[in-house]
Chains A and B, each alone.
Chain A
């Protein structure tokens, strides 16, 4: 297993970056990388070498992302404690300036958004594109994207803010 970790001979890193960008995920790439390494090692032992490495690796990366998102949803549902020092949800802090303690909640809410809205927000906050550039790239009216952006951010605000308010009213400040 360490053979595929050391030096990244399967070029898993760039493939992860590409998938996260294409599907509009805001996840810490190193977290996805670690899980993908384990998924790849496990699948190779369980099912043998793949015929076509590219599509096979993409499927393993997608699986890993789905599993991580499912774990985050369950952790949030169960109110599992999240260490304030955790950097696992750094992309959320970076994108929206939410406090680290709310970052997992924001991540879960963000990844529940429709894929088109996720891709738009990710393009703006992580890939450094402007709304006008994205509109030109997608061939869509700027006004339409602006409305979509507002809908996405307001959904996130509602999802995270409401739950925060509920917790504060319930006396749970964790």
Chain B
């Protein structure tokens, strides 16, 4: 069963042998000799036109679906940025420079129709009727993010839809549904980016329900995956202030001070989001949280001070 030749670095080979000796190990259960030979010998070779034409046609349809998904995703993000409540819950999707630009419903519709008429290499791809049925013109302006995400998931299944819907649910006080979707991402095989987003959605669900310490823990996990990044530190600072966690608040403030200048657009964005979230009752400040914010203010960088003021 086990056919191990010295094909790779002895360090790795030794490690695999050690792990393979465990009864339930999955390593070294298949002959690697042939697979390795094929692998070592190959670089990408030119493809013959006749042999691949059918396969290419199938791939084209897949790529076409990816473009349709991208249009729907833009529509979802636009709705998340424009909604009265949603824009304050969407900070993970807004970058330092303001993030995604809104795409008007008419433009989205036009892109869908153009995409439906696409002709590539003799292959005409007609899918507009599917969208015509799924999203009539007058509905595109009123359809919800979870509904759009559900259509997107049919076009091209992936975690992005679960996350977009999770953020939408959170913003509409349906934090239970938001948590379920974010957990579904975490228990699957998320990419690093999706895992970070899912943890931030979970943090938001917990914060919305008043479990700020748990929210802070999720935010810490998100930072552990990616290392320090401004938006993560901003979220961490907010949670730390509200959870009255002095050590983490100081740490997040110091990192923010190192990472971004006070005039950075993220500061203004974060303050707007913090004020909005507070107004909507996401962050309920205890007297201790206010005392901590005041106590820390003199030791914080400009970005942190702005957030602290917004939280008072």
Are B59 and A34 closer than 8 Å at their CB atoms?
yes
Q: A136 an interface residue at 8 Å Cβ cutoff?
A: no
Q: List CB contacts (< 8 Å) of B156-184 with chain A.
A: 156-159
In the bound complex, how far is the Cα of B174 from the Cα of A68, in angstroms? 33
List the A side residues contacting B118 at CB < 8 Å.
42, 45-46
A29 and B157 in contact, given A5-B52, A73-B188, A100-B30 (Cβ under 8 angstroms): no
Are A41 and B40 closer than 8 Å at their CB atoms?
no
Q: Which of B16, B24, B157, B192 contacts A97 (CB 8 A)?
A: B16
Q: Which of A12, A39, A76, A125 contacts B189 (CB 8 A)?
A: A76
Are A91 and B39 closer than 8 Å at their CB atoms?
yes
In the bound complex, how far is the Cα of B35 from the Cα of A96, in angstroms? 10
Q: B116 an interface residue at 8 Å Cβ cutoff?
A: no
Q: A82 an interface residue at 8 Å Cβ cutoff?
A: no
Selected interface stretch from B63-71, B86-94, B285-293:
B63-71
Are A73 and B48 closer than 8 Å at their CB atoms?
no
In the bound complex, how far is the Cα of B107 from the Cα of A121, in angstroms? 45
Are B31 and A97 closer than 8 Å at their CB atoms?
yes
Are B9 and A130 closer than 8 Å at their CB atoms?
yes
Are A38 and B189 closer than 8 Å at their CB atoms?
no
Are B158 and A74 closer than 8 Å at their CB atoms?
yes
* Interface residues on chain B, size class: 35 or more
Q: Which of A37, A95, A98 contacts B56 (CB 8 A)?
A: A37
Q: B97 an interface residue at 8 Å Cβ cutoff?
A: no
Q: B143 an interface residue at 8 Å Cβ cutoff?
A: no
Are B26 and A99 closer than 8 Å at their CB atoms?
yes
* Proximity string of chain A (50-77) to chain B, C-beta cutoff 8 Å, 1 when within and 0 when not: 0000000000000100010110011011
In the bound complex, how far is the Cα of B123 from the Cα of A45, in angstroms? 11
Tell me, rounded to whole Å, the shortest Cβ–Cβ distance linking B153 to chain A: 9
Q: List CB contacts (< 8 Å) of B15-72 with chain A.
A: 15-16, 19-20, 24-32, 35-36, 38-40, 42-49, 52-53, 55-56, 59-60, 62-64, 66-67
A112 and B45 in contact, given A38-B59, A97-B4, A126-B39 (Cβ under 8 angstroms): no
List the B side residues contacting A6 at CB < 8 Å.
46-49
Q: Which B residues are closer than 8 A to A by beta carbons? A: 2-4, 8-12, 15-16, 19-20, 24-32, 35-36, 38-40, 42-49, 52-53, 55-56, 59-60, 62-64, 66-67, 115, 118-123, 156-159, 188-192
Closest 6 A/B residue pairs (Cβ): A1-B121, A13-B44, A94-B35, A38-B59, A97-B28, A8-B46
